[in-house]
Chains A and B, each alone.
Chain A
Amino acid sequence: QVQLVQSGAEVKKPGASVKVSCKASGYTFTGYYMHWVRQAPGQGLEWMGWINPNSGGTNYAQKFQGRVTMTRDTSISTAYMELSRLRSDDTAVYYCARGAGSSSWYLCDYWGQGTLVTVSS
């Protein structure tokens, strides 16, 4: 069965960086995009971007351009999302979500459990 297991909660100071991992299992990692979506406390969902694990190609939301980097390690079926120059309003739960494959690369059909990132001085 498809599983996405994310790394644990993080507490960071403003200006620091955070790197969240997402380990995939139960499917061919390189065959599906991986999306990153975040949710601030009590707020809605915000799409951050995706990575194509096969090519390493990425597409980032304009809002995060220059601050976000999505990478992958195909040898361990793991995707990463690094966000730099953290601010207090980056406090959120960060989710990885699998793209649904060639039928719809942009549809998120399986989600990780989420990683809480708290930015506080």
Chain B
Amino acid sequence: DIQLTQSPSFLSASVGDRVTVTCRASQDISSYLAWYQQKPGRAPKLLIYAASTLQGGVPSRFSGSGSGTEFTLTISSLQPEDFATYFCQQLSSHPLTFGGGTKVEIK
């Protein structure tokens, strides 16, 4: 199985900050990576797929980059509604695994 390691697992930031979350894969997954946002008590929401393609309706302050084994999710200017947990998921091979999550909290 492909393991995805997210870092940090917890992040404290202020409104307006630039935030970066990293997802490392245990083997090459090309660009078969997605990012999801989850708020407490809610289902995950797709943000980015194919490592860097923004899902429709997602604000442009979100961006993704990377390929192979290292990927990043960047929020260019953190907004109050962005405080949530973020998960990466690899779509390269079965089982389709998720990273452990990064919780972004208000400083």
Name the prevailing secondary structure of the B interface residues.
loop
B105 to chain A, nearest CB (A): 15
Residues of B within 8 A of A95 (CB): 43-44
B7 to chain A, nearest CB (A): 14
Binding stretch for chain B, among A10-18, A23-31, A77-85, A111-119 = A111-119
Question: Does A9 reach chain B (CB closer than 8 Å)?
Answer: no
Contact A106 B96 (CB under 8 A): yes
Residues of B within 8 A of A97 (CB): 43-44
Q: With contacts A45-B98, A100-B49 known, is A111 near B43, CB below 8 A?
A: yes
Residues of B within 8 A of A106 (CB): 91, 96
Q: Once the chains are docked, how many angstroms separate the CA of A100 from the CA of B45?
A: 13
Contact A107 B91 (CB under 8 A): yes
Residues of A within 8 A of B101 (CB): 44-45
Q: Once the chains are docked, how many angstroms separate the CA of A112 from the CA of B43?
A: 7
Question: Does A73 reach chain B (CB closer than 8 Å)?
Answer: no
Interface size class of chain B, counting residues whose CB lies under 8 Å from the partner chain: 20 to 34
Residues of B within 8 A of A47 (CB): 89, 95-98
Q: Once the chains are docked, how many angstroms separate the CA of A53 from the CA of B22?
A: 35
Q: Once the chains are docked, how many angstroms separate the CA of A35 from the CA of B34?
A: 15
Q: Once the chains are docked, how many angstroms separate the CA of A84 from the CA of B100?
A: 26
Q: Once the chains are docked, how many angstroms separate the CA of A46 from the CA of B100?
A: 10
Question: Does B62 reach chain A (CB closer than 8 Å)?
Answer: no
B46 to chain A, nearest CB (A): 5
Q: Once the chains are docked, how many angstroms separate the CA of A46 from the CA of B98?
A: 7
Q: Once the chains are docked, how many angstroms separate the CA of A45 from the CA of B97?
A: 8
Closest 9 CB pairs of A and B: A111-B43, A61-B95, A45-B98, A106-B91, A47-B96, A44-B101, A44-B100, A107-B49, A109-B46
A residues with a Cβ closer than 8 A to B are 35, 37, 44-47, 59, 61-63, 95, 97, 100, 104, 106-109, 111-114
